[in-house]
Structure 1
Amino acid sequence: MRQVLLIVDIQSTFSPPEWLVDGVRALSATIPTIASLQLHDEQVTPFERQLGWHPAAEDECLVEADKVFVKQGYRQTAETIEYIRGLGAERVLVCGLQTETCVLAAGFALFDEGLMPTLITDLTVGSSLDRSGKMGIELWKHHFGNVITRAQVLAEGCV
């Protein structure tokens, strides 16, 4: 099965735990990898006006990826989706920060485009509402069904 890894917002602004960065780095070394980087532009997404905070205007992805796409809000860009489609991926493995928001938004974008989003449950962290990510994992199962662990990905030998 042709698959790619989509890393969602593992960047300095959000202070991801080291175990997450290390785990994603280890997996990304074995599979084609795309990453999203959330940057702030108040003219595009009014974080400050609506929420009273905003991500950094400049930042860097903490995991090496074959291609990094900048986004200004929760959703993945059309360019990201087209790039993934161009790779001929049959399944998109998704990991990253804020399981119930940005990661879930990536799942909806992939699902709506006919791609198969599959959450790597042990390579995701929830928002401050639920750092465990359990709420986001349950939402993912409900909406998309497909979840997997890093060990299962490696055991499949499809990377």
Structure 2
Amino acid sequence: MKQAVLVVDVQPSFDPPDWLVERSRLLAAKFPSVATVERHDEAKVPFFRQLGWTPRSVDDSLVQADRIILKYGYSPPPEVIEQFQSWKIDRVLVCGIQADTCVLAAGFALFDAGLQPTLIADAVVGSSLDRSGKLGVELWRHHFGQIINNHLEIT
């Protein structure tokens, strides 16, 4: 099975814990990797109008990946799926920020594209609703089933 890593929005504006940055870096160095960076453009996604806050309009990934892809909103753009398909990936290992929103949205996109999304449970944090990430892990388990609990177990 050919695997790759998707690092979702591990960037300064979301104030990731150091352990998440380190685990994401280790995973991205071990496999072909894509990292998304969420940016704000009100004309593309009305964060401020609808939610009263915005991600930064300029921010960068804290994880060096084979490919960095900008996104606007919760879901990954088509370029993320296209990249994994071009690498002929079977399973995508997912880590990052907002397990219950952006990470979950990535899972749906990967699943719908016929890839096998697999969450790395000890390499995610949740949104402000549940910073522990437990809600996101349970939602992932319900929708996709595939979870690895410890990033050190991945071969």
Do the structures match in fold with TM over 0.5? yes
- Is the deviation greater in 144-153 or in 52-61? 144-153
Aligned residue for 1:14? 14
Percent same amino acid among aligned pairs?
55
- Distance in 2 between the 1:138 and 1:24 partners? 20
- List aligned pairs for 1:67-78, cutoff 5 A: 67-78=67-78
Compute the displacement of 1:76 (Å).
0.6
Count the aligned residue pairs: 154
Q: Spell out, residue by residue over 1:78-110, the C-alpha distance to the aligned partner (whole angstroms, 9 max, x if none).
A: 111111111111100000000000000000000
Aligned residue for 2:49? 49
Compute the displacement of 1:152 (Å).
1.7
Compute the displacement of 1:9 (Å).
0.2
* Structure 1 stretches of 4+ moved >2 Å: none
With structure 1 as the length reference, what TM-score do the two structures score?
0.95
Other structure's SS at 1:100 match: coil
- Distance in 2 between the 1:106 and 1:99 partners? 10
Compute the displacement of 1:27 (Å).
2.0
Other structure's SS at 1:29 match: helix
Aligned residue for 1:94? 94
Alignment RMSD: 0.7
Q: Spell out, residue by residue over 1:109-138, the C-alpha distance to the aligned partner (whole angstroms, 9 max, x if none).
A: 000111000000000000111111000000
Aligned residue for 1:109? 109
- Distance in 2 between the 1:76 and 1:29 partners? 21
Q: Unpaired runs of 5+ in structure 1?
A: none
Compute the displacement of 1:151 (Å).
1.8
With structure 2 as the length reference, what TM-score do the two structures score?
0.97
- Distance in 2 between the 1:121 and 1:35 partners? 17
